[in-house]
Chain A
Amino acid sequence: MNVPNTLTATPMTNGNPMQDYPAVVTEITEDAVAVATYMLAFQDVDVGQQFNFSAGQFNMILLPGIGEVPISISSDPGTPQSLGHTIRYAGNVTSAIARLQTGDIVGLRGPYGSHWPMDKAIGQDICIVTGGIGLAPLRPAIYEIINKRDDYGQVILLYGARTSADMLYTDEFDTWQNHDIQVHTTIDRAEEGWSGHVGVVPMLFYHLRLDPANTLVLTCGPEIMMRFVIYEALARRIPRENIYVSMERNMKCGVGFCGHCQIGPKFMCKEGPVLSFAQFEPFFGVEDF
């Protein structure tokens, strides 16, 4: 087996930046309809030990012969030896991932991209706003907040899904609340037995009391949702520099070579996927850009 021992933390710069490393599926947890979390561990212990990531970064997962896809890391940045990836079955590659079983091996490389501003958020309030699978890239941020709960002020999670069955990590909500994270959920249409909100996520803003100058908004979800989140945040006078979004684009390389992930001047795999609204306001919402 040829596993060059060149994987360093962030970013991986030595040798071949697109070299994948075998990783074993150690655990699979079904989270929601057509969504499961895959825990992966590098087969080579040395590679695993060198791997570190920051909340919001992603890996490329390779199923040889089928394809390679960018997937956010959804687990605790404090324990990078076991890497969680929460995956929604969408097309070719993700359907093949759906057929994986524990013990199977995939190719893994990363971590790539920018991360949530957890340092900048120290001493600040945090408002996390997500829809559907968008919670996955934000879960590492929640772990980080819990690991260092005293570093942060008020923390609020606004989370929406199509139906209650589409909601991720519901059995962790109690833990989060026990760590003084307010969890507000909403679903698109009323359901029997649902006692939370009904409606789109940005509406949840109406229930909040925020300290705009000292709040960071972290958002990930469908682009249309993020557009309204930004709108609501700006309307509450949260500065553009404090509103962070994670953008999704087609990605083939993760390292700035393939050109697929550009939005205007930014490569989403390098300067993104996490960007402040101030960084790319002129290009956000331009139709088909």
Chain B
Amino acid sequence: MPDLTPNIGAHVSIEKSSLQQVLDVLKTMGYSLVGPTLGEGAIVYDDIDGIDDLPRGWTDRQDAATYQLQKRGDDSYFGYVVGPQSWKKYLYPPSYRLGTVERKNGSYSSTPNDEEAPRYALIGVRACELKAITIQDNVFLGGDYQAPCYKSRRQSAFVLAVNCTEPGGTCFCTSMDAGPQVGPGFDLALTELDDVFVVEIGSDIARHVMSEIPWQPSGAFELQAARRAIASAETRMGRQLDTSDLPDLLYNNLDHPRWDDVAQRCLSCTNCTLVCPTCFCSDVLEISDLTGQKVDRVRVWDSCFSLEFSHVHGGNIRPATRSRYRQWLTHKFASWIDQFGSSGCVGCGRCITWCPVGIDVTEEVAAIRMEGPQQ
């Protein structure tokens, strides 16, 4: 047991089985562990207890409208990419009670939700996903107003990230500058090699965690193997997206015939927005008790693909699928840049995989680019 605490920025190597000890330490620190596990036909994020809950030895074959779990033939803990869910389900829950209003005999009181936020340790956060989290940070914490629900969950979360060494069929994080190597913001970042994890230390809390785990400074060979594995992943992305001229490319083509074309295929089912790790739109439901005197106000995920989303009295701003798809794509790849200084897409490929008709954002952007600005 080394009595040294590794420094921030240091790379250390641990036995793969020692990951269990890392999780145990996090548990004793009061974190709720959530991470990838085998769900119904997909890898989903759920409560986990230890490394035995991870989808060890499994991988996922992904393509447009296609997702399939397969055995890998080895014992990798992180040999798959991302499933339909993202960490936003924890940091920005799909349904959250904002507060409760009570009215009795003419009095009125409105109490914000002050339940203590869960402290999550997010286990197995991919590069694109960490980038997506920092993008949502900008939305909920970066402006004049801060969302209390997001803030408390986010600030207390521990991020155990994983560098991708094997990208999926719909991945294009390299194009979006979001991977496969994990960027800033993690506590610990693992690279999985055959027999060890190379672990990068990203925070003081992580140093504290590692001080309880047997580790070795990573050797030159291990460091090189880790670097190579990531560099090789970069060359094997399933998809690519040329981001040059964005946002103007889309702004200059708001009347492009491709919008009609994609509208023929798109079902407006909202899947793409629900699986997207950066999509943040919401609605508020008013839920009364039987007496009608007590009302919970519940924030729920919403989607720009629904008709009501743009409802104003006298009609909807975006009545047709054409204008809703255009809103989603131009928001992700154009207006997001104006609003928050970065693209709203991290290239995780979820919207491509989980679109029931296989609409592919990389293809849609490319089509507009190739067919050029219309007169």
Contacts and interface: CB of A to CB of B under 8 A. Distances in A.
Nearest to A88: B313
Given A91-B313, A105-B103, A2 B143 contact: no
A68 interface: yes
Interface string B262-298: 0000000000000000001111101010001001010
Interface in B71-97: none
Contacts of A43: 108
B312 interface: yes
B143 A270 contact: yes
B228 interface: no
B283 A258 contact: yes
Interface stretch (B10-18, B204-212, B314-322, B366-374): B314-322
A250 B288 contact: no
B251 A259 contact: no
A19 B327 CA distance: 29
B18 to A, nearest CB: 41
B145 A260 contact: no
Contacts of A172: none
Given A64-B103, A257-B280, A289 B335 contact: no
Interface residues of A, number: 50
Contact of A19 (B112, B295, B302, B310): B112
B317 A257 contact: no
B317 A288 contact: yes
A256 interface: yes
Interface stretch (A147-155, A197-205, A208-216, A261-269): A261-269
Given A1-B107, A265-B334, A267-B339, 19 more contacts: A1-B108, A2-B110, A2-B111, A3-B109, A11-B145, A13-B144, A17-B147, A18-B98, A22-B109, A65-B288, A90-B313, A105-B106, A107-B101, A258-B281, A258-B302, A260-B281, A262-B331, A265-B338, A289-B327
Contacts of B295: 64-65
Contacts of A20: 101, 110
B339 A265 contact: yes
A51 interface: no
A37 B348 CA distance: 50
B286 A248 contact: no
Contacts of B107: 1, 105
Please indicate which of the listed interface residues A15, A258, A288 has the most CB atoms of chain B within 10 Å of its own CB: A288
Contacts of B147: 17, 257
Contacts, number: 136
Interface in B300-342: 302, 304, 309-314, 317-320, 322-323, 326-327, 330-331, 334-335, 338-339
Nearest to A1: B109
Nearest to A2: B111
B338 to A, nearest CB: 3
B139 A257 contact: yes
Contacts of B280: 257, 259
B254 interface: yes
Nearest to A43: B108
Interface string B249-262: 00100110000000
A17 B251 contact: no
A190 B323 CA distance: 38
A264 B330 contact: yes
Contacts of A236: none
B152 to A, nearest CB: 11
